[in-house]
Amino acid sequence: MTDIYKIIPNDEESEFITAYFEAVNFTETGEDGQPPYDADLDDDFRKECIVDCMSFFQRSRPWLSGNHLAQAGHDFWLTRNGHGTGFWDGMSRENIYPQAELLTKLAESYGEAYVSFEEFMT
């Protein structure tokens, strides 16, 4: 396969994507009835997440501060999945995201993501 079919994130995108996956681990692993912390994600799920992250990042970049890209990665996961915090959260809204409402609507437009883990697939 040639490089034209590969997605290679730049440093800012990588920071955002890494934080997104940290949030996935935080909410979806380690509790009773959940896979262990750092369980291997299904490859297809991981690829879909990267595509969603790259898309969201490019669409929202004008409203994201370079100092808070990791927080934005976390907030994208939390907001799109309705975890009760995220872009619209009080502290984040006032201090980090002047366009919190716009970012919330954009994140929600991606729909909820359902996590798949390698060893827990049927």
Residue 102 lies in a domain: yes
Q: What is the pTM of this model?
A: 0.89
Q: What are phi and psi of 17, to 5 degrees?
A: -65, -45
Residue 29 lies in a domain: yes
**Could you tell me the residue range of the domain that residue 41 belongs to?**
11-111
Residue 83 lies in a domain: yes
Residue 66 lies in a domain: yes
Q: What is the mean pLDDT of each run of 10 residues along the chain (122 residues)?
A: 78 97 94 88 95 97 91 96 86 74 96 88 45
User: Are the C-beta atoms of 17 and 9 separated by less than 8 Å?
Assistant: yes
State the pLDDT at residue 122: 42
Number of domains making up the chain: 1
Residue 92 lies in a domain: yes
Q: Distance (Å, rounded) from C-alpha 99 to C-alpha 92?
A: 10
